[in-house]
Copies of this chain bind each other. A is one copy, B any other.
Amino acid sequence: MDLKNKKVSIIGLGMMGGAFAHGLKKLNPESISAYDLNNEILEQALSDGVITFGTNDKNTLKEILKESDLVLICLYPLATIEFLKENFKNFKEGSIVSDISGIKLPIFQVLKDLNRDDIFYISGHPMAGSEKEGYGGATDKIFQNRNYILVPFKNTNQEKLQDFKELLKNLGFTNIVETTPKNHDSKIAYTSQLCHIIASALVDSVDDMTITDYEGGSYADLTRIAMINAPMWTEIFIENKDLLLEQIENFELSLDKIKNQIKDKRSDDLSNVLKDVRKKRVVMEVDRINKHHLED
């Protein structure tokens, strides 16, 4: 997807929207317009040269959307839904529209009532993030060598899908998969939401702040995502409640199994579980290195 002569708009100029702005700028579109409630951030982004136009006005937004060839909605899930309800009618004919919501079932619940056959809606989820919040922490470095999950809406054709994938590759993503809303929400409940909950519970369970004297690299790695964006993740956890609770309970079963092996001093059983875990995780590592062309 060549962005030359294309108009791009980004809805929400937070950490993720800002990262897209940084990345898209390098691909030289005709314009990058941003909509955000916070005028200071728009001015900052303008002065950084990562957007060409910014507005916090809903009527101006409407005009922008009518001319945008690509719209990236970078809002929290519930705000994404509100935005879609209000603005679906405003998208330009033939445009590609995408969101980056961390849960897809509620988005698709809304999409099915907003039928327009003349735009191409490709819901997406960049598997990238940062503990930095807001536009100030935005950088497209976070996209390098990452997965991107696409959940295309029914009216998206293969050509547009390929265009969008190519764009994502140009932004740095190295592995792009397509799936259904349900499968997305179930897989992400494990790989992302459960991980954030574990990291948070781990930090929550300690009171002693001298603990960093006693840590190795693993504790820092396991708890980095406990520097969590509380409002966003609260929304995501609760909106994906059922699929997430399944994953939490699966994890609790495994934790309980290992705990009991320790309690009962069942060395052989414990060692066998750990050996299997190692094997599984090594396979994942090889897989990761191959998919993202990483060095060992």
On whether A248 and B241 interact (CB within 8 A), knowing A127-B216, A218-B195, A230-B274, the answer reads no
A201 at the interface (CB under 8 A from B): yes
Q: Which of B214, B231, B258, B287 contacts A212 (CB 8 A)?
A: B287
**Contact partners of A147 in chain B: CB under 8 A:** 212-216
B233 touches A274 (CB 8 A): yes
A222 touches B220 (CB 8 A): no
Q: Which of A202-243 touch B at CB < 8 Å?
A: 202-206, 208-209, 211-231, 233-235, 237-238, 241
Q: Which of A115-174 touch B at CB < 8 Å?
A: 127-129, 146-147, 149
Most B-side CB within 10 Å, residue of A190, A216, A226, A227: A216
On whether A262 and B281 interact (CB within 8 A), knowing A191-B214, A200-B273, A211-B190, the answer reads no
**Contact partners of A187 in chain B: CB under 8 A:** 208, 211, 213-214
**Contact partners of A213 in chain B: CB under 8 A:** 147, 149, 175, 177, 187, 291
B262 touches A241 (CB 8 A): yes
Residues of A in contact with B, size category: 35 or more
What is the 8 Å Cβ interface bit string for chain A, positions 105-122, against chain B (1 contact, 0 not)?
A: 000000000000000000
**Contact partners of A263 in chain B: CB under 8 A:** 241, 245
List 27 contacting pairs A-B, 8 Å CB cutoff, sorted by A. A127-B215, A127-B217, A129-B218, A190-B211, A191-B214, A195-B219, A198-B198, A200-B277, A201-B255, A203-B280, A204-B254, A204-B258, A206-B280, A209-B283, A218-B225, A220-B288, A221-B222, A223-B284, A226-B277, A226-B281, A227-B281, A228-B274, A230-B272, A234-B271, A238-B265, A241-B262, A252-B252
B214 touches A251 (CB 8 A): no
Q: What are the 8 tightest A-B residue pairs by CB atom distance, in nearest-first order?
A: A230-B274, A127-B216, A201-B254, A187-B214, A204-B254, A205-B254, A201-B255, A226-B281
A216 touches B146 (CB 8 A): yes
Q: Which of B222, B234, B285 contacts A195 (CB 8 A)?
A: B222
The residue on B at minimum CB distance from A281 is: B226
B227 touches A211 (CB 8 A): no
CA distance A285 to B227 in the complex (A): 9
The residue on B at minimum CB distance from A268 is: B234
B146 touches A204 (CB 8 A): no
Interface residues of A (CB under 8 A from B): 127-129, 146-147, 149, 175, 177, 184, 187-188, 190-192, 194-206, 208-209, 211-231, 233-235, 237-238, 241, 244-245, 247-248, 250-255, 257-259, 262-263, 265, 267, 270-278, 280-285, 287-288, 291
**A-B contacts besides A203-B277, A205-B247, 12 pairs, CB < 8 Å:** A128-B217, A147-B214, A191-B218, A199-B218, A201-B254, A206-B280, A218-B224, A218-B225, A221-B225, A222-B225, A227-B281, A230-B272
